[in-house]
Structure 1
Amino acid sequence: MTTLYTNARIHGDAPGATTATAMAVDAGQVTWLGTDHRGPVADTVDLGGAYVTPAFVDAHVHATSAGLLHTGLDLTATESLSDLLDAVRDRVEQDVLLWGHGWDETRWPENRPPTRAELDAVADGTPVYLSRIDVHSALASTALVDLVPGARTAAGWSADGPLAQDSHHHVRRAARESITPAQREAAQLAFLRHAASMGIACVHECAGPDISGADDLADLLARPGDLPQVVGYWGALGESVPGVRGQAGDLFVDGAFGSRTAALCEPYTDAPHTSGARYLSARQIADHVVACTETGRQAGFHVIGDAAVAEVVAGFRLAEKVVGERAIVAAGHRLEHLEMVTGEQIDELARLGVLGSVQPLFDAYWGGRDGMYAQRLGDRAAALNPFATLAARGVTLALGSDAPVTAVDPWATVRAAVEHRTPGSGLTWEQAFAAHTEGGWRAAGMSGGRLEVGARATFAVWDGDPRTSPRCLRTVHDGITIHEVR
């Protein structure tokens, strides 16, 4: 049953380069591209002169947490410490947990988060969990901490400030377990529908025991087929769950710069007493890579700071001695974020076929001379997120949002990759677009991201120039419309 899409501008090899004005789709595949279709059709869709591109792939998301921005407390727009406290005061209810996300004290005039005492004063006895924008630390009210006795003795505990490391994982798990199945379903559906409305046909869910839980991932993978495809990852050593692509995603080697938990070779510029936290050794990394390679699974790690990257590269070298270069390359392992990496390390990763899942909006949000990166790292910040070098030296890139850390906005992500705040570190427009389409499919071990005869009929329809944040009118995945503006 052929559907013919007409009156369109079909994406060519570069944005704006197009000759085809119509496309035929049958059984989930593109069967014809051109200007004058002469075969039989079951349905014709007039696209009104709109621009048609391959649909996007978001290569790193946390669906439930991102969906809770719609149903919980969104703190991404707070401009001060008092803004956050006012927002909490307006939402708390006795004996009902309040879940919030998105505060960033580096943008506030106070340049500090609330103390636990300040949070308790407005929480009024309610358990409150408020994750920082990078999700590597969180504010927790005393009522929530009291539910998790182990938090006070775990690494990362603070008597009056944000919790990090294992202490944060304890309180996050307690907060997560308070979410009902109905709330989880609403959050996941809200996120997936929003992603489809942004021209995204596939997301990579980076789940794990300290992030979302096995039940959360199972529910997400079971969502119906009229939503974006979910490629699941489970970030745990020696522990797998059904239906996932690999033991990858947010398997933490370190934390994040904003929470000062990314592992550094030298101390933080604005906190000389710490160099962050490293959670895995080169030996543990190597054992995981070997196990995944030998069993046909994709391995991967969350890695941000330079000390963490060094540990990962050392781990891959150890693994290579066991299984060999060819086996590692064939497995297509991946790294998330990969922000603070040297040219020599990039060459090693490229040689071993390791893919980079990167988030350009990190640079847009926190890069530049006066951004959070510069506050935390000083002059070292200028070398972060070297997308151009990664691409030039042969590392396949896949772009994503790390939602809810940054917005689900593919065109803004493409622009951020191109308009890098460090001259010479950005991609070309064509490279960035390919990394957000073809690169995402490749990172998941699949083909896609091109509009050509025989390709998957997975595309998005836009009402304007892609360089000016057009509105998505329709998203189609394998021939099924998953979003449509009516």
Structure 2
Amino acid sequence: MTTLYTNARVPGGATAMAVEAGRLTWLGTDYPGQVAHTVDLGGAFVTPAFVDAHVHATSAGLLHTGLDLTGTASLSDLLDAVRDRADTDVLLWGHGWDETRWPENRPPTRAELDAVAGGTPVYLSRVDAHSALASTALVELVPDTRTAPGWSGEGPLTQDAHHHARRAARESITPAQREAAQFAFLRHAASMGIACVHECGGPDISGADDLADLLARSGDLPQVVGYWGALGEPVPGVRGLAGDLFVDGAFGSRTAALRAPYTDAPHTSGARYLSAQQIADHVVACTAAGRQAGFHVIGDAAAAEVVAGFQLAEKVVGERALAAARHRLEHLEMVTGEQIDELARFGVIASVQPLFDAYWGGPEGMYAQRLGDRAAALNPFATMAARGVRLAFGSDAPVTAVDPWATVRAAVDHRTPGAGLTWEQAFTAHTEGGWHAAGMTGGRLEAGAPATFAVWDGDPRTSPHCLRTVHNGTTIHEVR
């Protein structure tokens, strides 16, 4: 049975598309065959649907059902928000505060948080999700938090202390809350023209049950490609042991691993969690098993460790086997040209987030606060593309907004001159690049390709609204 989409504006000049059995069978202006169903798109624009190559679905969904702190403008705004939502019988989960944008330029102390939370367990992750404020009621659920690396008696928790607190908060979420959060996120992604997301789960992020539930979700929803960020801990249904397998942390929380200390905190150079040998062993094991390996890597010390790890792995499995495996690195913000050349040689995919630069780049942004002059070299998308590293774009939701067109514009309008991409390169990274990163093909509108596309109410370069998202011939979002 053929469905014909008519009155459309398709790249290349077509005005109609025929779909059968989940695939595009024809594009043109005057369909020669018979159809079972016709959909008039009313002159709307059609593009390939987007892929978000790095998400955390439950955490992002909790922004809809929990406490969204991304708009807080001051320390007192955060405390007021907690006071308004505190309930002594229910965990309060929040995300998105960023003290670098506040006049106080500091987060609240635990005492200040307790004063408005009362006896409520409160977990409030920083915008980068690598540190969090935790109320005393939450800390008391996991006493080991007080002796773990990253513990602070007054300020945010980082490193293992943060992981303990996050685990306690996660385990306090009911199955019904998890289901609501996951459906909320997936439906929102579909409404933004996204047909596929890569879930970057892991034992310190979301838990195996969370990932299993997400992969089992059914209905007219975006496709979920699962990754599990752990060494040697396979779980059913995942594409690879990749995603947020942490080599280091993040700049905002001062846990990204640097070769030289932070400009605004000379006492620390961040935290490195894996050695080159551990990285190599993981890459070798995954390559031999036919799985993708991958790591979260942000700081320059972490990037150097990863490159050294791949070089060690090459001695065991060879360059050709590495390149065929499509191993991937998440974020890869602080990397040199020489390191990029090595990663290109090994066929490594860079899963990157252009909105990081839009949010925190520039001479007055958080990157400059943390790193000084080093900030200008972050996120060198143009160099990666020119030297042969395949790019896949994502949001790292809930760290940045799920907004594909804003992501494309951020990659083009990079805050560092010369580091941005062309419009076509950026769009390809958010479509074809995402499918490639998951070992699949997609992102093109041509006969024989999957019928996966999005329909827009205006020119794609002018922030259009999504009217319809179709994945493999099935409509997963429609404005009625």
Q: CA separation in 2, counterparts of 1:382 and 1:330?
A: 33
- SS, match of residue 429 in structure 2: helix
Matched, 1:3 2:14: no
Aligned pairs (5 A) from 1:65-464: 65-464=59-458
Deviation at 1:125, TM superposition (A): 1.2
- SS, match of residue 48 in structure 1: strand
Greater shift after overlay, 266-275 or 95-104? 95-104
Q: CA separation in 2, counterparts of 1:311 and 1:379?
A: 22
| TM-score, with structure 1 as normaliser | 0.99
| TM-score, with structure 2 as normaliser | 1.00
Q: CA separation in 2, counterparts of 1:237 and 1:404?
A: 24
- SS, match of residue 249 in structure 2: coil
Matched, 1:32 2:32: no
Deviation at 1:414, TM superposition (A): 0.2
Aligned residue type for 2:63: L
Aligned residue type for 2:198: H
Aligned residue type for 1:67: G
Aligned residue type for 1:211: I
Q: CA separation in 2, counterparts of 1:391 and 1:280?
A: 27
Deviation at 1:48, TM superposition (A): 0.4
Aligned residue type for 2:163: H
Aligned residue type for 1:303: V
- SS, match of residue 133 in structure 2: strand
- SS, match of residue 450 in structure 1: coil
Measured against aligned partners, the alpha-carbon deviations of 1:137-167 in whole angstroms (never above 9, x if no partner) come to 0000011101111100000000100000000
Matched, 1:60 2:58: no
Deviation at 1:462, TM superposition (A): 0.2
Deviation at 1:217, TM superposition (A): 0.3
Aligned residue type for 1:95: D
Q: CA separation in 2, counterparts of 1:334 and 1:354?
A: 5
Identity of aligned residues (%): 87
Unaligned 5+ segments in structure 2 are none
Equivalent of residue 466 in structure 2, options 455, 464, 472: 472
Measured against aligned partners, the alpha-carbon deviations of 1:408-435 in whole angstroms (never above 9, x if no partner) come to 0000000000000000000000000000
Q: CA separation in 1, counterparts of 2:148 and 2:453?
A: 47
- SS, match of residue 85 in structure 1: helix
Deviation at 1:95, TM superposition (A): 2.7
Matched, 1:48 2:48: no
Deviation at 1:101, TM superposition (A): 0.3
Deviation at 1:38, TM superposition (A): 1.5
Aligned residue type for 2:293: A
Aligned residue type for 1:272: P
Q: Which runs of 4+ in 1 moved over 4 A?
A: none
Matched, 1:23 2:9: no
Q: CA separation in 1, counterparts of 2:129 and 2:60?
A: 11
Aligned residue type for 1:72: G
Q: CA separation in 2, counterparts of 1:304 and 1:214?
A: 25
Measured against aligned partners, the alpha-carbon deviations of 1:217-255 in whole angstroms (never above 9, x if no partner) come to 000001114100000000000101000000000000000
Aligned residue type for 2:2: T
Aligned residue type for 2:475: T
Deviation at 1:96, TM superposition (A): 1.3
- Cα root mean square deviation, aligned: 0.4
Deviation at 1:468, TM superposition (A): 1.1
Deviation at 1:467, TM superposition (A): 1.1
Unaligned 5+ segments in structure 1 are 12-17
Q: CA separation in 2, counterparts of 1:223 and 1:152?
A: 37
- SS, match of residue 168 in structure 2: helix
Q: CA separation in 1, counterparts of 2:349 and 2:120?
A: 43
Aligned counterpart, 1:15: none
Q: CA separation in 2, counterparts of 1:473 and 1:223?
A: 23
